């Protein structure tokens, strides 16, 4: 096998705290340990299609591990295999993957590292099948990738949501209100569960356990009998009542998963206020969960992932994703990583622990 001389790197999908720490780790490992040149494509797969890149060197990646966002930019819209454009006022989808592969060849890249969630890793797998050596790095605040114990960015999002709950507690208590905090997570309830447990929520609602409004209200009323005239509810954006559907806020054309969830928090607060007469308010935490710098755990995990991704390419491995198993870094086939999303097991010890504390899941 010829030694690797040049690699490409891109960040795809929604941004996430820790992306810059991965970029830094990849670049430093490639240059310091192997003398490999690193090219960063701008705005995810769009940069690969448009051949829009920057050279990454030690100076460029210095001092960025603690910063939020991605110095390369990203997008969760552009899939080279179904590339969205508007032509003559009409929406058109084209397969631009060969254009992207030509760019890889022209630049003389020996491999590509794709930092992304399930959408970007699906695309990465398709490129790998077309002959591009690919290593994936699992990124998402949602923590919903099945082939790794933790994705980087998740614990930072939990930290943000937990801090929000601390603040909501004081105002909820002052006004004797029900405070609903809507958090992200798509079709999985990891952020809601961890933030709710950490932030002392009274009710946690997640997609994995469709809720009964009666049960939520029972909990609020029970607290009243204990003279606790306020309640804190964390609701995942993908939560739904047993007799209802998830609330969709918008559709995003060109996205791997065009559905954007959002709005269940407002619906729930309205339902509670109408039924109980208790003043209820909603806070939608939204993209604050993705913004800002990573907490130390995510800086370290991102760094470990970045180093391992380079070593995978150097070892000649492709179509794999670096992952965490028993707190050690390993790798799994990409196809395994994208097979299904990881949902919260409803009988997991953490759900049972929350129930033991009296937290209601609305079931
Ligand atoms: O996957 C990360 C995530 O933040 C989800 O939790 C959320 O549903 C979605 O992305 C929001 O996407 P957008 O940035 O397009 O609003």
What confidence tier does 256 reach under pLDDT thresholds 50, 70, 90?
Answer: confident
Measured CA to CA, the distance from residue 166 to residue 195 in angstroms comes to 10
Q: Is 136 in the pocket of ligand 1 (CB under 6 A)?
A: no
Burial profile 124-143: b = 16 or more Cβ within 10 angstroms, e = fewer = bbebbeeebbbbbbbbbbbb
Catalytic residue among 142, 144, 202, 298: 142
For strands 328-333 and 320-325, give the pairing.
Answer: antiparallel
Measured CA to CA, the distance from residue 321 to residue 335 in angstroms comes to 9
Q: Please tell me the distance between residue 239's alpha carbon and the centre of ligand 1 in angstroms.
A: 15
Angle at 188 between CA 183 and CA 194, to 5 degrees: 60
Percent of the chain with pLDDT over 70: 100
Nearest residue (CA) to ligand 1, atom 13: 14
Nearest residue (CA) to ligand 1, atom 16: 260
Q: Please tell me the distance between residue 290's alpha carbon and the centre of ligand 1 in angstroms.
A: 9
Q: Which residue do the tokens 């309830």 mark?
A: 189
Nearest CA among 259, 192, 260 for reference residue 232: 192
Structure letter (DSSP) for residue 288: G
Q: Is 14 in the pocket of ligand 1 (CB under 6 A)?
A: yes
The predicted structure's pLDDT at residue 2: 85
Q: Is 185 in the pocket of ligand 1 (CB under 6 A)?
A: yes
Active site residue 142: yes
Residue 319 has pLDDT above 90, yes or no: yes
Question: Is-above-0.85 flag for pTM?
Answer: yes
What confidence tier does 42 reach under pLDDT thresholds 50, 70, 90?
Answer: very high
DSSP per-residue letters across 153-206: THHHHHHHHHHHHHHHHHHHHHHT-EEEEEE--TT--HHHHHHHHHTT-SEEE-
The predicted structure's pLDDT at residue 291: 97
Which of 73, 251, 260 to mutate for ligand 1's pocket (most ligand atoms within 8 Å of CB)?
260
The predicted structure's pLDDT at residue 257: 87
Measured CA to CA, the distance from residue 302 to residue 153 in angstroms comes to 8
The predicted structure's pLDDT at residue 54: 98
**For the chain, what is the mean pLDDT?**
97
Q: Is 219 in the pocket of ligand 1 (CB under 6 A)?
A: no
User: Could you give the residue ranges of the DSSP H alpha helices within the chain?
Assistant: 19-34, 45-50, 97-106, 118-129, 154-175, 190-198, 213-225, 264-276, 296-314, 334-337, 349-356
Q: Tell me the C-alpha to C-alpha distance, in Å, between residue 106 and each of 100, 152, 348.
A: 10, 32, 49
Q: Please tell me the distance between residue 308's alpha carbon and the centre of ligand 1 in angstroms.
A: 26
Structure tokens at 91: 């929406």
C-alpha radius of gyration, the chain, whole number: 22
Q: Which atom of ligand 1 is the closest one to the Cα of 186?
A: 8
Structure letter (DSSP) for residue 211: B
pLDDT mean over 68-76: 96
The predicted structure's pLDDT at residue 209: 98
Measured CA to CA, the distance from residue 195 to residue 141 in angstroms comes to 12
The predicted structure's pLDDT at residue 254: 79
Nearest residue (CA) to ligand 1, atom 11: 260
């Amino acid at each position: 096998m010829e030694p690797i001389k040049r690699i490409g790197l891109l960040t795809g999908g929604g941004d996430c705290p820790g992306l810059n720490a991965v970029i830094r780790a990849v670049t430093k490992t490639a240059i310091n340990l192997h003398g490999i040149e690193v090219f960063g494509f701008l705005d995810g797969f769009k940069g690969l299609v448009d051949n829009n890149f920057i050279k990454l060197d030690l100076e460029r990646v210095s001092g960025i591990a603690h910063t939020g966002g991605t110095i390369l930019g990203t997008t969760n819209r552009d899939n080279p295999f179904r590339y969205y454009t508007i032509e003559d006022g009409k929406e058109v989808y084209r397969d631009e993957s060969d254009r992207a592969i030509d760019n890889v060849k022209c630049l003389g890249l020996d491999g590509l590292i794709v930092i992304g969630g399930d959408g970007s890793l699906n695309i990465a797998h398709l490129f790998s099948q077309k002959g591009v050596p690919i290593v994936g790095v699992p990124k998402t605040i949602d923590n919903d990738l099945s082939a790794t114990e933790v994705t980087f960015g998740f614990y930072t999002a939990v930290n943000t949501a937990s801090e929000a709950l601390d603040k909501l507690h004081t105002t909820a208590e002052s006004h004797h209100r029900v405070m609903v905090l809507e958090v992200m997570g798509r079709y999985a309830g990891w952020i809601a569960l961890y933030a709710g447990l950490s932030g002392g929520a009274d009710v946690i609602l997640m997609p994995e356990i469709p809720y009964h409004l009666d049960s939520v209200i029972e909990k609020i009323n029970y607290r009243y009998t204990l003279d606790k005239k306020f309640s804190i509810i964390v609701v995942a954006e993908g939560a739904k009542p047993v007799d209802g559907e998830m609330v969709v806020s918008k559709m995003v054309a060109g996205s791997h998963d065009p559905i954007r969830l959002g709005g269940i928090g407002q619906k729930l607060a309205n339902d509670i206020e109408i039924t109980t007469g208790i003043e209820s308010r909603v806070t939608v935490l939204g993209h604050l969960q993705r913004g800002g710098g990573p907490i130390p755990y995510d800086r370290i995990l991102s760094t470990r992932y970045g180093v391992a991704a380079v070593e995978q390419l150097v070892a000649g491995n492709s179509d794999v994703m670096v992952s965490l198993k028993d707190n050690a870094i390993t790798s799994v086939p990409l196809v395994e990583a994208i097979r299904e999303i990881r949902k919260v097991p409803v009988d997991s010890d953490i759900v049972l622990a929350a129930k033991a504390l009296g937290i209601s899941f609305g079931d």
